[in-house]
Amino acid sequence: MLFVFRSKFILRFSFQIYFAFFVPNLFCVFRSKFILRRCRLIIFLGNAPFAYLPDIGVLYSIRKRYIFNNKGMIMETSISETATNSPPILALQEVVKHREQGGIAFELQIPEIKLQKGQFVAIVGNSGCGKSTLLDMLALVSRPSRCQHFQYRFSKEDVVETSDIGSLWEKDDEQTLADVRREKLGYVLQTGGLLPFLTVWQNIQLPLKLNGLRDDTYIKELAKRLDIDTLMTKKPQFLSGGQRQRVAVLRALSHHPQIILADEPTAAVDEERAKAIVQDFYALAKDTGTTIIMVTHHKDLVLPLADVIYTFKVEDVSKTLIRSTSERYQ
């Protein structure tokens, strides 16, 4: 068993003892006379190997990840053990989006993307590579120019519901697409996207009302977990940037969606809050089984926690055509 004491910062496992202390942006692990610091660390607690990344406060084990939050305490979450051969919740194959403006054409090519339930997924790239374009297609608000396969596979308990998105676009079935968006997807905007004339509680309840849901027990539990349960009567202008983002995350989760799409949710907050948001996303994905897809410019921010990362290869095909191709980060 692993114990963490904030007062004396003692990590004890089996017969080996590690002493640790927190300094801003620095974490040191001592074992006898050896000091490991400011890098990816490999330490052993008993016979179990752990890797520590001090800049974001994550201690990895083979089976679990121990996440140090900004209060110096520890949060333990289980790594998803989803079988890679199980049917994916999202599958894209040979999906293309083509658009033109001012005589310049941009083409986004998605050779293949397959995501599993409960994964924390990062889409990483520079401005103009097609991150938001991909997210808009996943959110069913932008129609692919062509696609070989585009399918969502939602499951709850023993009920499995498959949505052939490519077929729905071909049929111009806007109503069914809208139903999938409303019921199955949650969206977190870069700036939160909270309605300024509503309180936090009213903002959070919007997805429930749109879906005809009334049970708010789940919302209250998540509000305590995200440390925003005391903000319910406030309006967005009285919240900090980090608080607004946490409210936006809770609103996106309130109606039990199976996929959360987050468009650069860390762009408008400082570094510490950005790390906390990433940690929250990872833990929520594992604890709720929700697949969370986050767009960001910063690979280093998500690299330690993301189950899957997709990047883009951008090339100038000609003077009038730019092509961006998604690829899984190895």
**In the predicted model, what is the mean pLDDT of residues 92-121?**
94
- Closest of 15, 46, 45 to residue 29, by C-alpha: 45
pLDDT at res. 79? 42
Q: State residue 282's pLDDT score.
A: 92
- What is the DSSP-derived secondary structure letter of residue 119? -
User: Which range is least confidently modeled, 66-75, 86-95, 233-242, 243-252?
Assistant: 66-75
Query: Residue 50 has what pLDDT?
Result: 53
For residue range 35-88, list pLDDT tens digits in order. 333 334 545 554 454 555 544 455 544 344 444 444 443 444 444 444 455 789
pLDDT tens digits, one per residue of 291-302: 999 999 988 889
Q: What is the pLDDT of residues 147-161, one digit of tens each?
A: 999 999 998 767 788
Residue located via tokens 């997709």: 310
Query: What does the pLDDT look like over 28-48, one tens digit per residue?
Result: 333 222 333 333 454 555 445
**Residue 194 neighbours by CB under 8 Å, 6+ apart:** 200, 203, 236, 244, 247, 248, 251
Residue at token pair 């609103």: 251
pLDDT for 22 equals: 35
The residue among 282 and 33 whose pLDDT is bigger is: 282
Task: For residue range 248-263, list pLDDT tens digits in order.
Answer: 889 998 888 999 999 9
DSSP string, 182-202: HHHEEEEBTTB---TTS-HHH
In three-state secondary structure terms, 154 is strand
The pair of structure tokens assigned to 77 is 């979450």
**Non-local CB neighbours of 272 within 8 Å, separated by 6+ positions:** 70
Given this model, what pLDDT does residue 45 score?
52
- How far is 116 from 281, CA to CA, in rounded Å? 15
**pLDDT surpasses 70 at 145:** yes
Q: Which residues have C-beta within 8 Å of that of residue 113, sequence separation ≥ 6? A: 90, 91, 92, 310, 326
